[in-house]
């Protein structure tokens, strides 16, 4: 039996007739009874079986019931022990209560008293165990609170895994998040005592237990193992994470238990934590959908702005792609790369405030017109500032016209004072502008654009980022044919000495 439900009671008394009376009195109740007159047998039983309550004689020949008491509490920390004696003294009573006995019955006692004492003891035990469950609910509330206060999904799922491990007293817990459409794993989370256990709880094969099935309850398997000095049972629990009946993941748990039991309370905790994982994933998906819708709307707006100037068509898309290659080379994580797409798409959104006659002017801008044009990063900031979803785009918008030498705008920031997002965008934004046709000039060649970047390396641009970009061109990682319809011989790039600090 893996899930414990009946109450296990051990009765030990060296007098046969006492055992018989107690057995008869309690047999009508729904208890799993083990009754014995043999104290050694009782000790063995305590060692090898689950126990909720022990009723023990205090003196059995030379054998003391305190040994039963101590052994029980050593192995079953929340078990109840009631001792019985025909020769009570206050000293003995105090002594055994101090050692952790729940109560002390003086023989002969009425069977009614025995029954009410046991009922009271089990009620007390129930409250203690409820407290454990409440602890699990506190964990849930922490996670729920994190869910509603904008904590990242990865952090929430890490909390779920840690809480499962603590609350179920597990040796290893893994959570595999999957794409419900393809069934492919998306992310793995784990909390384990050893690195080897991580492979077991994050084993993708466990997904097959739920693939294509409508199973909502956990699969529980038990296997007897040799653990340190004792025999133990390894319980594996596979808990599906379902959202609207679709499988979004699985929580794998390994518990090593001496008696191969998990309690209904532990399964309740698991169910609560699984629900919070499902809620977190569902919320995150909704958030991503919302973010995508916003991004599409803003993308449409960016395209509308580009459409005002025929010569910049496709600029933001190309810049996003070039910047994406740079981010890859810099080893940015997925979230930073997502923000980069957002930032590149929105970087010139402030041009909405620039009049058409300035935006489309074919001759050199006057001083006044240049002033108006240079306001676009600040206008962009004002547009975006009120939309919390787009906060990550701010450094791209506000800093893409700053210069390494501090002569850019709007804040005249210098070198590393300029956010990396702005420094990176500045390089690819300029490269794309040089390559693109303008009303007053034809687009330059790649080699010309590269020599321009080299010329202003350490003046207008972050020198290291220029080197990284040129290296990407040299390695053929920028598809010039696709984006610019250019089929240029770039072998001359090999002659450019690349700084040793490049970290591509």
List residues near Fe ion by CB under 5 A: 348
Count CA within 13 A, CB hemisphere, residue 198: 8
Give me the helix-helix angle, 315-330 and 463-474, nearest 10°.
100
Residue 348 or 402 with smaller CB distance to Fe ion: 348
Residue at shortest CB range from Fe ion:
348
Task: Please calculate the CA angle 224-230-232 and round it to the nearest 5 degrees.
Answer: 25
Q: How far is the CB of 380 from Fe ion (least distance, A)?
A: 8
Q: How far is the CB of 463 from Fe ion (least distance, A)?
A: 21
| Residue 497: Cβ-neighbour burial (10 angstroms; 0-12, 13-18, 19+) | exposed
Q: How far apart are CA 128 and CA 478, in angstroms?
A: 65
Helix segments in 223-314, DSSP class H: 264-307
| Residue 374: partners with Cβ closer than 8 Å, 6 or more residues away | 401, 409, 410
Residue 56 or 312 with smaller CB distance to Fe ion: 312
Q: How far apart are CA 283 and CA 149, in angstroms?
A: 12
Q: How far is the CB of 391 from Fe ion (least distance, A)?
A: 19
Residue 200 or 379 with smaller CB distance to Fe ion: 379
Q: How far is the CB of 385 from Fe ion (least distance, A)?
A: 17
Q: How far is the CB of 246 from Fe ion (least distance, A)?
A: 43
Residue 107 or 299 with smaller CB distance to Fe ion: 299
Q: How far apart are CA 12 and CA 22, in angstroms?
A: 10
| Residue 92: Cβ-neighbour burial (10 angstroms; 0-12, 13-18, 19+) | middle
Q: How far is the CB of 137 from Fe ion (least distance, A)?
A: 52
Distances (CA, A) of 1 to 50, 189, 205, 253, 356: 11, 30, 26, 18, 78
Give me the helix-helix angle, 420-435 and 315-330, nearest 10°.
130
Q: How far is the CB of 392 from Fe ion (least distance, A)?
A: 18
Residue 57 or 348 with smaller CB distance to Fe ion: 348
Q: How far is the CB of 400 from Fe ion (least distance, A)?
A: 6
Q: How far is the CB of 165 from Fe ion (least distance, A)?
A: 50
Which residues are bridge partners to 169 per DSSP? none
Distances (CA, A) of 326 to 195, 399, 504: 34, 17, 9
Residue 122 or 373 with smaller CB distance to Fe ion: 373
Residue 249 or 395 with smaller CB distance to Fe ion: 395
Count CA within 13 A, CB hemisphere, residue 495: 7
């Amino acid at each position: 039996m893996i899930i414990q439900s009946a109450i296990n009671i051990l009765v030990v008394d060296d007098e046969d007739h006492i055992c018989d009376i107690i057995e008869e009195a309690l047999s009508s109740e729904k208890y799993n009874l083990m009754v014995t007159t043999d104290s050694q047998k009782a000790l063995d039983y305590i060692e090898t079986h689950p126990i909720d309550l022990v009723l023990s004689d205090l003196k059995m020949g030379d054998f003391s019931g305190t040994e039963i008491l101590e052994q029980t509490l050593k192995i079953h920390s929340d078990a109840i022990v009631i001792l019985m004696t025909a020769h009570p003294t206050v000293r003995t009573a105090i002594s055994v209560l101090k050692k952790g006995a729940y109560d002390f019955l003086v023989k002969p006692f009425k069977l009614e008293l025995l029954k009410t004492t046991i009922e009271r003891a089990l009620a007390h035990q129930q409250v203690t165990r409820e407290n454990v469950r409440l602890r699990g609910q506190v964990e849930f509330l922490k996670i729920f609170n994190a869910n509603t206060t904008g904590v990242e999904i990865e952090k929430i799922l890490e909390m779920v895994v840690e809480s499962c491990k603590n609350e179920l007293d597990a040796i290893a817990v893994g959570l595999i998040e999957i794409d419900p459409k393809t069934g492919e794993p998306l992310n793995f989370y784990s909390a384990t005592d050893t690195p080897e256990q991580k492979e077991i709880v994050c084993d993708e094969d466990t997904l097959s237990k739920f693939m294509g099935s409508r199973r909502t309850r956990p699969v529980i398997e038990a296997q007897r193992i040799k653990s340190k000095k004792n025999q133990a049972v390894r319980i594996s629990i596979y808990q599906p994470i379902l959202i609207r009946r679709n499988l979004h993941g699985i929580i794998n748990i390994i518990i090593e238990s001496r008696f191969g039991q998990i309690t209904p309370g532990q399964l309740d905790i698991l169910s609560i934590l699984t629900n919070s994982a499902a809620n977190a994933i569902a919320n995150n998906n909704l958030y991503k959908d919302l973010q995508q819708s916003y991004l599409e709307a803003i993308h449409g707006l960016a395209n509308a702005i580009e459409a005002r100037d025929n010569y910049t068509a496709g600029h933001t898309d190309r810049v996003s792609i070039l910047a994406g290659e740079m981010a890859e080379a810099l080893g940015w994580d997925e979230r930073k790369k997502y923000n980069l797409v957002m930032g590149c798409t929105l970087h010139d959104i402030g041009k909405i405030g620039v009049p058409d006659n300035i935006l489309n002017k074919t001759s050199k801008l006057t001083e006044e017109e240049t002033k108006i044009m240079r306001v676009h990063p600040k206008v962009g900031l004002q547009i975006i500032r009120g939309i919390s979803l787009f906060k990550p785009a701010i450094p791209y918008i506000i800093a893409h016209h700053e210069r390494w030498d501090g002569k850019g705008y709007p804040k005249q920031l210098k070198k590393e004072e300029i956010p990396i997002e702005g420094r990176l965008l500045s390089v690819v934004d300029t490269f794309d502008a040089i390559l693109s046709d303008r009303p007053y000039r034809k687009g330059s060649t790649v080699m010309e654009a590269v020599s321009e970047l080299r010329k202003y390396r350490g003046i207008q641009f972050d020198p290291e980022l220029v080197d990284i970009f040129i290296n990407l061109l040299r390695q053929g990682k920028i598809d010039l044919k696709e984006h610019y319809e250019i089929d240029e011989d770039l072998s001359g790039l090999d002659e450019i000495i690349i700084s040793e600090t490049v970290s591509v």
